[in-house]
Amino acid sequence: MRQKELEIPIRVNKIEVVLKRLLKSYPKYQEISDEFGRRMSGYRGEQSLRYHLTFLKEKNYTIFHNLRLPDISGEHFFEIDILLVNPAFIVIIDAKNYRGELYFDDTFNQLIQTYQDTRKSFQCPVAQINRHQFQLSKLLETFKLPTVPPIETLVVFTNPNAILDASKDFKYSHKIIKSPSFISKIELFEKRNRNKVLDKKQLQKLSKMLLKKHTPFDHDILAHYGIKEHELIKGVRCPKCDFLPMVRKHRSWSCPNCHYSSSKAYIKSLHEYILLYGNSITNRRLRDFLDIESVSTATNILSSLNLDYKGSYKDRTYILKDQDLKSEVNLL
Ligand SMILES: [Zn+2]
């Protein structure tokens, strides 16, 4: 049973929009781009693991994708790609879709990736998953279940072409697999955890509590990276080829790259606005973000969207609705 479905996390969408509106020469561009790559790799890894999850004995497992849970300090969160819960035990799964040769270096607790003559160092995913195991067990203690089930951990490399290797003293090889070994590893966990510690009611309670504690990342992404307003590229993005900015021509926007033209081309850019700034917008903020000079053009856009608003005419704040914008995008 799936309690929480797989979808691209909002944080990944936010980072993507930031990247698309920064110049490549921006000092932190590479750092942000690397983070995006890492998070997308996790998402793609999870996507490809879905196939292997279908071989689980369905009714024995509850599956949660992308849980973001608070640790007991309440100040920090930890993110779990996939959590499997069954009456006897829990599994934390970290999915990685890394390419190339992957070498686990125990001395410095790092994962070194060699791909197309480039070497990169990542934090060791086993160290991370061990930390998550500790954080989750502490969190579960607060759920007041009669017993906290044993927590197993697994790092799954989902790219079939990845080559795994480890230093001789690396202690955690048993926690690392490639996707095809997934089910046999789960069967091993089943064999060593035969004792059912949760009944149906307690399982339901556990699921409910996990969903209640799940806190999607909803921070101000610009503040998170310290990006200043003037550092973003403003304007209307072409909904067909992604080019930024389109040019305003005869009551319409025209793309200098693919020559697509539409009077409603701004809809896609308003999605981006929501990811960067949230749902409130004013006439001035709209002009600034879409790089429109005319107050009346902005007024026309806002009234055509039929938005709810607060405040008097002059300093009116409108509320953008992501769902409504999505259905309009399909019409472009
Ligand atoms: Zn275009």
Per-residue pLDDT at 41 = 84
Ligand 1 centre to CA of 254 (Å) is 8
Ligand 1 centre to CA of 3 (Å) is 39
pLDDT cut 70: percent of the chain above it: 98
Order across the sheet with 110-115: list the strands: 118-123, 110-115, 101-105, 163-166
Ligand 1 centre to CA of 278 (Å) is 26
pLDDT mean values, one per 10 residues, the chain (332 residues): 84 95 95 92 89 86 94 90 96 94 93 94 93 96 94 96 94 94 95 94 95 91 94 96 93 95 93 94 96 93 90 86 73 66
pTM, full prediction: 0.82
Ligand 1 centre to CA of 264 (Å) is 13
Task: Find where tokens 């686990």 sit.
Answer: 104
Ligand 1 centre to CA of 243 (Å) is 5
Ligand 1 centre to CA of 282 (Å) is 27
Ligand 1 centre to CA of 261 (Å) is 8
- Report how far apart, in Å, the C-alpha atoms of 82 and of each of 91, 92, 130, 132, 253 are: 8, 6, 15, 12, 43
Ligand 1 centre to CA of 263 (Å) is 14
The rounded distance, in Å, linking the Cα atoms of 277 and 222 is 8
Ligand 1 centre to CA of 246 (Å) is 8
Task: Find where tokens 């690392």 sit.
Answer: 176
Ligand 1 centre to CA of 21 (Å) is 16
Per-residue pLDDT at 331 = 64
Ligand 1 centre to CA of 11 (Å) is 26
pLDDT digits 0-9 by tens, 270-312: 999 999 999 999 999 999 999 999 999 999 999 999 899 998 8
